Structure 1
Amino acid sequence: MNQLELPTRPQTATARGISEPIATPWHEFGPGGGAWMLHPADLRALDPFVLVDHFQLGQPVFAPHPHAGFSAVSYLFEDSADGLLNRTSLGEKNFIAPGSLQWFQAGRGAMHDEAPRTPGRAAHGLQVFVNSAAANKNAEPASFSRDAAEIAVVEREGARVRVVLGEFAGHSVRFGAHTPVTLLDITLSANATLEVPLPRAFSAFAIVARGALAGHRVDGPHALRFDAAGDVVRLAAGPEGVQLVLLAGAPIGEPLAARGPFIGNGPTEVNDMIRRFQRGEMGELAPIHPATS
């Protein structure tokens, strides 16, 4: 006998809880600027993300330096007074304009350099370290970019969302990076609300650039972490409005070890990265400006 199939009962989306604000202390790089830093003591706390620097740079502060085992992702806010000159030992040399994104997937290792194009005009943005799974840590380095004009903007009542990476409101942005993530630049006017669907498997947090969410008033930039359980992130701006960058991605779930700009699965791998850098196997990149720190 055939049994009748009962219609599936519609499921109500479950909102993720929000942590108390996480301090992102200001760290001075030198007279050229600095960053509000989110550097968790537990490197896997934000898996697949390792750290975030919310920077203001008006002068060059770093000489060319190596990366290996992860991706260095630079996103410039639209209000940035100027952009960054980006160079790698892959032969790449380009300009990251305000509102644009540059993704440098270091793989087995390469040299990297970023500096403000116009000294005295501060570049304002985020640099995010995104981990690579063990299977991709020795891959050939690669670089990807998205210009400001390519980034879709979704506007709703009281809300504006730049879909830089990931999915939102019918827009899907992926490229050849080994670790796909979501990066949404969200601005809410005073007391406005917005709901952002996310896969349950994704970890998620926000870097708050200005203002605050309702019930989470903080003076200055800070971070908020969202609980793992739930289908959506529900955002409600406070009376002054808020601008935040929502970052989310599927955890890699592997052991993690780091030393400076090298991220491996253990100390043996990190030491091997250091030796390869010392032997010159990550390429060459001549400095074009003096380091000040």
Structure 2
Amino acid sequence: MTSIQQRGIERIWTVEHRQNSPIHIAGMVLDPNKMKESDPFLFLAEDWFKKGTFDFHPHRGIETVTYVIEGKLEHQDNKAGKGELEPGDVQWMTAGRGVIHIEDPAEEETVHSLQLWVNLPREHKMAEPRYQNLRAKDMPVRKEDGALIRIFSGSSGGIQSDTKNYVPVTMVEINVEPGAMVTQDLPGDYNGFMYILEGKGLFGKNQTEAEKGHVLLLEKAETGQASEISIKSVENLRVLLYAGRPLNEPIVARGPFVMNTEEEIRQAYRDYMAGKFAE
């Protein structure tokens, strides 16, 4: 029987937030200057914002994964797509070859959200755009003694989400009562990290202590081997865990576009200016 590799915590840091405008506070959970370290994830931003913060804007070559912590977030795109996300909901948007959209809080609302950018592999950079609205109430859940894991993508303890991925990604919301412990299984070749939304706990094989506002980068495991990360709650814990298979491809990022070469970036801007994102 193959042993399961226990993962530890490689590094911990605290998110620093700053006031970008009177209606927008933001912090980088994952630093966009360290994209190689977090591959296939490009960055993760935490935002508090009111209506009017963001205008319509384009994307190409990525997926955006938006998790709403507080408030109601309205979404519109240039192809008559429209929707609303409630607290605990996720929207998984595949920009692919091109999307122009806006995410705006409802009137009088302040939205607190996390938005992750997932890189698309070379062969799917120009995929047809799509949206997956992942309602918290509809997601599969895994229940253990004192723990509930909501599975937005990938699997946990043999329970599988049917969310479609171009890059294999596990995204789970882990809720653990004080004194309880749970483990999350991951393929050995996945890069991963956790962000603590509430509480305090002990993480990984060395029981590293961390609390609300901390980001925990998981130690790498061996490709081809099963791995897991243990989580023990000291105070009521709510943690988001993201992990995915690295692409190991060139990354060229300019503004809202992420491609593999400079020429592809230039082409993205030409296509956008020529109105081809609306086709």
Work out whether 1:65 is the aligned partner of 2:60: no
So what's the TM-score if we normalise by structure 1? 0.85
Q: 1:47 to 1:174 in 2, by over 3 A?
A: farther
2:97 paired with 1:97: no
- 1:246 equivalent in structure 2: 241
- Equivalent-residue separation in structure 1 for 2:154 and 2:134 (angstroms): 13
Q: 1:174 aligns with which of 162, 178, 183?
A: 162
Q: Distance in 1 between matches of 2:167 and 2:18?
A: 28
Q: Which residue of 1 aligns with 2:174?
A: 186
* Aligned partner (choices 141, 151, 155) of residue 139 of structure 2: 151
Q: Deviations over 1:46-76 (max 9, x none)?
A: 1111111122223330111000000111122
Give 1:209's aligned residue. 197
What SS does the aligned partner of 2:277 have?
coil
1:39-188 superposed matches below 5 A: 39-77=31-69, 80=70, 82-119=71-108, 121-188=109-176
- Contact 2:177–2:236, Cα closer than 8 Å, also in 1: yes
Residue 205 of structure 2 is matched in structure 1 by none
TM-score, length-scaled by structure 2: 0.89
Deviates more, 1:257-266 or 1:171-180: 171-180
After TM superposition, give the deviation of residue 19 of structure 1 in Å. 2.2
* SS state at 2:266 partner: helix
**CA contact 1:21–1:216 (8 Å) conserved in 2:** no
Q: Against the structure 1 CA distance between its residues 178 and 20, is the aligned structure 2 distance closer, same or farther, given a 3 Å change threshold? A: closer
Is contact 2:60-2:97 (8 Å) kept?
yes
Task: Judge conservation of contact 2:140–2:160 (CA < 8 Å) in 1.
Answer: no
Give, in whole Å, the separation in 1 of the partners of 2:40 and 2:272: 24
- Read off the aligned partner of 1:61 and give its amino acid letter: T
Contact 1:36 1:221 in 2 (8 A): no
CA distance in 1: counterparts of 2:179 and 2:200, whole angstroms: 10
Q: Deviations over 1:197-250 (max 9, x none)?
A: 1111111111122233323345x512111111161111123x333221000111
Distance 2:19 2:184 in 1: 34
How far apart, in 2, do the equivalents of 1:97 and 1:76 lie?
Answer: 7
- Quote the RMSD (CA, aligned, Å): 1.9
The letter of the residue matching 1:136 is H
Asked if structure 2 preserves the Cα contact closer than 8 Å seen for 1:83 and 1:95, the reply is yes
Structure number with greater Rg is 1
Moved more, 188-197 or 44-53: 188-197
Q: Does 1:27 align with 2:18?
A: yes
Q: In the alignment, does 2:229 pair up with 1:233?
A: yes
- 1:21 is paired with a residue whose SS is strand
Q: Does 1:277 align with 2:265?
A: no
CA distance in 2, matches of 1:267, 1:212: 43
Measured after TM superposition, the shift of residue 22 of structure 1 is 2.1
**1-side partners of 2:247 and 2:168: how far apart?**
11
Measured after TM superposition, the shift of residue 114 of structure 1 is 0.3
The range that moved more, 56-65 or 247-256, is 56-65
Over 3 Å counting, the alpha-carbon distance change for 1:90 and 1:177 in structure 2 is farther
Matched residue SS, 1:276: helix
What residue ranges of structure 1 are gaps of 5+ in the alignment? 1-9, 285-293
Structure 2 CA distance, aligned partners of 1:176 and 1:118? 32
CA distance in 1, matches of 2:13, 2:262: 29
Q: Is the 8 A contact 1:69 1:262 kept in 2?
A: yes
- Give structure 2 stretches of 5+ with no counterpart: 203-207
Aligned residues, how many?
269
Establish whether residue 263 from structure 1 lines up as the match of residue 255 from structure 2.
no
Q: Please tell me the residue identity of whatever aligns with 2:102.
A: D
SS of corresponding position for 2:100: strand
Deviation at 1:14, TM superposition (A): 1.7
Larger strand share, 1 or 2: 2
